[in-house]
Amino acid sequence: MLKVDDLKIHYGGIEAVKGISFDVPDHSIVTLIGANGAGKSSTLRTIAGLVKASSGTISLDGEDITNMPSAKRVGKGIVLCPEGRRVFPDMTVLENIKIGAYLRNDDLTDDIENIYNLFPRLKERNWQLAGTLSGGEQQMLAVARSLMSNPEIMMLDEPSLGLAPIVVQEIFSIIKKINKERGTTILLIEQNANMALKVADKAYVMETGRITLSGTGAELLANDDIKAAYLGKKK
Amino acid sequence: MSLYSIPMFRIFYFKGKSLMSLTTFLQQCLTGISLGGAYALIAIGYTMVYGILRLINFAHGDIFMMAGYFMIFAMASLPWFIALPVVLIVTTALGVGIERVAYKPLRSAPRMSVMISAIGVSYLLQNLATYLFTALPMGYPEVPGLKKVYQLGGLSASFVTFLTPVLTLILVYLLITLIQHTKMGMAMRAVSKDYETASLMGIDINRTISITFAIGSILAAVGSILYFTDRMTVFPFSGSLPGMKCFVAAVFGGIGSIPGAVVGGFLIGMGETALVAAGYSTFSDAFTFVILIVILLVRPTGLFGEKTTNKV
C-alpha cells in the first residue's frame, strides 16, 4: 500500500501542496481530480521522486521512500507514466517498450508478447519511430513502456490529455483491464473527472494544494458540488 | 571546366607544369587521413558530451593534453604495455573527475554557467600543467614499433600513420555498436533526449553521464597517443589548438552526431594537410576556423546535425 502523509511541496516560496494525506490500497484504482494548479501533478511527481517533498512522508508497504532517488523507486515497483506521454521520439516502438524494462535482467519475450496482446496497434508499428505515432498511439506506448517494469503501482498523469473521446475511452478500458487482470494498483490524475470517477474505487478532490473531498468514485459522481465544479452539470 | 580550375588538381599542374607526383599526393592524403583520425577520436568526445549534457566541454582539449603528460610519466617508469592502459585509466579518471567536481553540481543551473565552468577547468588544467611541468615542451616517449617506417608501394610512412585511421574506424564501429545495441547505449540515448523520463525508466542519470565522460576521455587518450607520437613533444598548450579544431570538426559534422564528428574530423585533418601541401601552411589553422564560420552561416546544424523538429 502506498501511503502519503502530510505531504507539502514548495516551488521556491510558493506552496503548491499544503499538507495532504491519502492512501492507495493494493489492487485498487485511486484518482485525484481537480482543476489546473491544484497540485495533482506535483503530488504524482513527488511520489515518483522527480520533485522533492518539503515535508511529510511517502511510504510504500511500510518502507519510507520519501528521499529515495527516482530511478530506485522504479525498482521498488512505483512507476509514473508522465504527462504529455514523453515517449522517446527517436527510438522505435520496440526500443521504447524495452527501455521500460531497463532495470530488469530477465527474459522479456513473454512480457513483450503480453504487451502486444494488450495493444495490438503497437505490434503493427513495432519498427516505426515513436515520434511518428499518433497521439493516442503514443499514449498507449507510454502506458506499455511503464508496464514493462512490472510495477506494483502505476501512476498515470492525465492519460486523456489532447486525445479524441473515442481514444480516451479505449485508454480507460485498457487501464481497467490492467488493474483487473494484472492486479496493478492504479493512481490516476485527470481533468476529465467524469471518466476518472467512473473507473475509480476511491477518489480525492484537490483544490489549491489541499484535499477537500474524498469518497468512492460513485459517491463523488453523485455529489452536487462535484457535478457543478467538474462535470459541467448544473446543481 | 578543365581539371586545372579545380584547386585540388592545381597541386599537380601549375601553369602546365607538374608540381607534385601522384606518389607525393597519395603520401599527403595518408598524412591527412592519419591526422584526421586523431581529430575524429577527440571530436567524438565533444559530440558525446554535447549530446548528453548540451555542454561544449572546453576542457576536453586539455584532457587530451594531460593524457600526453601522463604518457610521458608512465613511460618513464613502466614498460609500454603497462604504461598504455595506465594512461587510459588515469585520463578516464581525470575526465570523470572533472565532470563530478565542475559540472555535476551545476546540473540544474543555466547552461551558460556550466559552459563558464568548463572554460574555467580548461584554463585550470593549462596553468596547472605549466606550474607542474613548466612551459617547455617535453619529449614524447616512443612506443616501440609505432615510429617504425614502412613502405607501401611508393609510399613510406611510420606505422602510427597507417595505424591511426584503422584504429579510429575500429573504435568508432565499437562505439556505435555500443550505443545502438546495448542497454548502456540505450540509456545514453534516453538520457540525451530527456533526463526526467529516463529516470522514470529507472536509469541512473549521473552514472550514465559519467560513462559518457569516461568513453570520451578514453578516446581522447587514444587520440593523444596517436597524435603526440607523430608530434614528438607535449607542452601545456598543446591541447588548446587541436581541441578547438576538433570542436570545429564536431560542429562541422553536426554536434551531437557521432558519425558527423568522425567525418568532420577526417575532413578537417585532410583539408589542413592539403593546405600545407599546397604551400599555404600559414593558413592551415585559419582554414579550420573559416570552416566554422561558414558552416555556422550556411548550415548551423552541420552535415549530420540533429533534426530539431520532432512530432511529440
Q: Which residues of B touch A142 (CB under 8 A)?
A: none
Collapsing DSSP states into helix, strand and coil, what is residue A175?
Answer: helix
The pLDDT value recorded for residue B23 is: 85
**B107 near A CB under 8 A:** no
Mean residue pLDDT of chain B comes to: 90
Q: Which residues of B touch A103 (CB under 8 A)?
A: 201-202
pTM of the predicted structure, to 2 decimals: 0.90
CB contact under 8 A, B187 and A102: yes
The pLDDT value recorded for residue A81 is: 96
* CB neighbour burial string for B267-277, b if at least 16 within 10 angstroms, e if fewer: bbbbbbbbbbb
pLDDT category, A36, cuts 50, 70, 90? Answer: confident
pLDDT in tens, A108-119: 999 999 999 999
Q: Which of A73, A76, A102 to mutate to test the interface with B (most CBs of B within 10 A)?
A: A102
The pLDDT value recorded for residue A232 is: 74
CB contact under 8 A, B203 and A69: no
- pLDDT exceeds cutoff 80 at A103: yes
Q: Which residues of A touch B304 (CB under 8 A)?
A: none
CA neighbor of B198 nearest in space, from B177, B183, B213? B183
Q: Which residues of A touch B186 (CB under 8 A)?
A: 91, 95, 98-99, 102
Q: Which residue of A has its CA nearest to B186?
A: A99
**B202 near A CB under 8 A:** yes
pLDDT category, A156, cuts 50, 70, 90? Answer: very high
The pLDDT value recorded for residue B267 is: 95
The pLDDT value recorded for residue B312 is: 38
Q: Which of A86, A92, A133, A156 to mutate to test the interface with B (most CBs of B within 10 A)?
A: A86
Q: What is the DSSP letter of A92?
A: B
Mean residue pLDDT of chain A comes to: 92
Range scoring the smallest mean pLDDT among A2-11, A100-109, A224-233, B65-74: A224-233
The pLDDT value recorded for residue B308 is: 57
Q: Which residue of A has its CA nearest to B206?
A: A71
The pLDDT value recorded for residue B311 is: 42
The pLDDT value recorded for residue A206 is: 92
Q: Which residues of A touch B200 (CB under 8 A)?
A: 48, 50, 70, 74, 79-80, 82
Collapsing DSSP states into helix, strand and coil, what is residue A39?
Answer: coil
CB contact under 8 A, B186 and A98: yes
Residue in B186, B197, B205 closest to A86 by CB: B197
pLDDT category, A234, cuts 50, 70, 90? Answer: low
In a 13 Å sphere around the CA of B297, the CA atoms on its Cβ side amount to: 6
Q: What is the rounded CA–CA span in Å between residue B232 and residue B235?
A: 11
Q: What is the rounded CA–CA span in Å between residue B160 and residue A158?
A: 59
The pLDDT value recorded for residue B261 is: 96
CB contact under 8 A, A69 and B199: yes
pLDDT in tens, B231-285: 999 999 999 999 999 999 999 999 999 999 999 999 999 999 999 998 898 898 9
Q: Within chain B, which residues score under 70 in pLDDT?
A: 1-19, 306-312
pLDDT in tens, A62-82: 999 999 999 999 999 999 999
Q: Which residues of B touch A72 (CB under 8 A)?
A: 202
